[in-house]
Amino acid sequence: MQVLIDVGNTNVCIGICENNTITKTYRLITEVNKTADEYYVLIHNMVDIRQVEKVYIASVVPAITTLLIELFKKYYNIVPLTLQPGTKTGILLKTDNPKEVGADIICDAIGSKKYGDEVLVIDLGTAIKYIYVQNNILKGVIISPGVVISMNALVKNTALLPEIDIKVPKNVLGKNTFDCMASGVTYGVAAQVDGLIERIKKEVNNPNLVVVATGGLAELIVPICKDEIQIDHNLTLMGLKEIGDKNILNN
For the chain, the straight-line distance linking the first and the last C-alpha, in angstroms and rounded, comes to 19
Q: Which of 127, 148, 119, 79 is nearest to 229 (CA)?
A: 119
Of 81, 25, 88, give the one whose Cα is nearest residue 53.
81
Instruction: Spot the catalytic one: 6, 48, 96, 104.
Output: 104
Decide if 104 is catalytic.
yes
Q: Which residues pair with 134 in a beta bridge?
A: 118, 137
Q: Is 165 exposed, middle or buried (0-12, 13-18, 19+ CB in 10 A)?
A: exposed
Biggest distance spanned by C-alpha atoms of the chain: 60
Any idea of the CA torsion for 94, 119, 249, 70, to the nearest 10 degrees?
A: 80
Active site residues: 104
